[in-house]
Amino acid sequence: MNDALPEYRYGFSGHRYHAYNDWARREYGGRLQKVSIDAGFTCPNRDGLLGVGGCTFCNNEGFSPSYLREQRDILTQIDTGIEFMARRYPRTKGYLAYFQSYSNTYDDLDALKRTYDIALAHPKIEGIVIGTRPDCLPDETLDYLAELSTRRLVELEIGIESCNDEVLRECLRGHDFACTRDAIGRAAGRGLFITGHLLLGLPLETRDSLIDGARALAGLPLDALKFHQLQIVRGTRLANQYRANPESVWLLDPETYLDAVIDMLEHLPPSIKIQRLGSEVPPNVLVSPDWGMRLHKFPALLEARLQARETWQGRLFAGGDPSRRKIVRPPPPPPAA
């Protein structure tokens, strides 16, 4: 291995991208598993403040565990989730309560505190992850989360989806990228750990706009990113659009999707941890596309594609200290046996 490469070495464990789980094992001594919670929040794009019906792609039933639809009590949801995750990931170091469904900062602060406190009172929960929109983060909420982060692990997951305003308008998102940039800046200024959520393949998105988006994200104080492929889910406006005009929706095949992820990774700084590489929708609500593969195969597929393209996260990153960028040069191949 090239001694000129400090700690990253492709992301700590031989990867060509900075894998979040590698970082978590290094930082916390093991895997931190998120346990999804539906706390009954809604969204300004559903309750009439900005619109009704949500974004064109949105139906949370397609992305939430089934037990969230069966159980309303938060502590019961956590117990069920931990029981499932403990079987699936027996070496888990700890659990984080993941407020996943809709916009989990969209309420008055006292109500938010009461809701978060219920989850944090669970003896096996070490912290919380809060999924929300960038237009649902008033300063008083960020101030509270910053104070809470001095006592417990707090991760703020902001739905970016796209960095292109035309794409955001097309999917009826209800905010622009300037709103996202502002929210990330205000949250980072308070020292919060920030994960951005991206949805690749939205109508009007192109390879060039994704690359432009990666360059824009590279200049923001993000700690981590999640990549999801666009999947058309029953009960959404996008499903109706697809049925009426299939050519209007850019459905990615696995190879094209991985290339789109790589196109963005190349322009992102190596410091950004990659939390997810895709998502799965239950077959009973999925309209299209059906790739016929499970999510756990994505890391190996991405690694193989990175190798085939002879590239890595940060290869084209143009920001920051030039001396720091040297850490993303690939090491030479191991000597032949």
pLDDT of residue 14: 74
3-state secondary structure string, 237-305? HHHHHHHHCHHHCCCCCHHHHHHHHHHHHCCCCCCCEEEECCCCCCCCCEEECCCCCCHHHHHHHHHHH
Contact, 42 vs 102, CB < 8 A? Answer: yes
Does 288 fall in a domain?
yes
**DSSP, res 5:** -
pLDDT of residue 333: 39
Does 333 fall in a domain?
no
For residues 256 and 48, give the distance between their C-alpha atoms in angstroms, rounded to a whole number.
Answer: 37
Does 13 fall in a domain?
no
For residues 74 and 80, give the distance between their C-alpha atoms in angstroms, rounded to a whole number.
Answer: 10
pLDDT of residue 51: 82
pLDDT of residue 312: 94
Under 8 Å CB-to-CB from 71, ≥6 apart: which residues?
Answer: 77, 80
Number of helices (H), then strands (E), belonging to the chain: the values are 12, 9
pLDDT of residue 228: 95
pLDDT of residue 65: 58
Does 232 fall in a domain?
yes
Does 3 fall in a domain?
no
What are the C-alpha distances in Å from 191 to residues 104, 128, 143, 186? Answer: 19, 15, 10, 9
pLDDT of residue 68: 56
CATH number of the CATH domain containing 103: 3.20.20
Range of the domain at 140: 20-328
Length of the chain: 337
Does 120 fall in a domain?
yes
Task: Give the mean pLDDT per block of 10 residues along the chain (337 residues).
Answer: 38 78 88 93 89 84 57 89 90 93 95 97 97 97 97 97 97 96 98 97 95 97 96 93 89 95 97 94 90 86 94 84 36 39
Contact, 181 vs 217, CB < 8 A? Answer: no
Work out how many domains the chain is built from and give that number: 1
Does 238 fall in a domain?
yes
pLDDT of residue 53: 84
Does 1 fall in a domain?
no
What tens digit of pLDDT does each residue of 247-296 get?
A: 888 899 999 999 999 999 999 999 999 999 999 888 889 999 989 888 88
pLDDT of residue 292: 83
What is the dihedral sign for C-alpha 64, 222, 225, 219? positive
Inter-axis angle of helices 254-265 and 298-308, to 10 degrees? 70
Under 8 Å CB-to-CB from 76, ≥6 apart: which residues?
Answer: none
Copy the structure tokens of residue 225. Answer: 């990113």
pLDDT of residue 296: 85
**Residue 96, amino acid:** L
pLDDT of residue 59: 84
